Structure 1
Amino acid sequence: MLFCPTCANMLIISIDDGSTNHWSCQTCPYKFPITKQMTSRTKLKRKAVDDVLGAADFGTDETAVSCPKCDHDRAYYRLVQIRSADEPMTRYVSYRCTNRACGNVWRED
């Protein structure tokens, strides 16, 4: 992708009245003639996986509950309402094991 040096919008390939291709900006009158074949490769960096239900989401509230995966005796907990405010309250408790080697997440309905 190329970007306009004047307004920073993305350039597109256009054809003049003749058979000349050029990069042109749709926002301003900038044009750049294409005189040779152009190729470009960019190696993308993979994003690190986000911890969707991380300790930050659970806060620091702990309770004495046994982890079903590693039998650790403590877990973070959080109470979640899964219905909208105008409906009867439906909640569930979700847990995350405090054992850093485990980190298992489970819930009770």
Structure 2
Amino acid sequence: MGLLFYGGNTVPIEIEDRALAHLKVVIAMKLRRNESFTLSWQHPVDEPTGRTTIWLHPSIPLQFVFEAPEPPELSAEWITALANSANTSGGLKMLPEHLQGRS
């Protein structure tokens, strides 16, 4: 399980390593362009029902921590689907890989 540390928060956001690796590519691409956007995801089944959205901005500290020592093979299609969602008014949504073409 990967961890995303955002801002000054010491409690990480847990995201599966493969999904986090794909998110990292899209987030880095947007922040490199000095773009701000939101990231939203539904809560896992073991947490109370709901969803969370955070505002990502180039000036806010962000750290990706991966459990696996080697990066996974990335899916260009999944990255494209995530990037397409990031470029909408709804912001980046954590799309499941098997639903990569839908937003």
TM-score (norm 1): 0.19
Structure with the higher strand share, 1 or 2: 1
Structure with the higher helix share, 1 or 2: 2
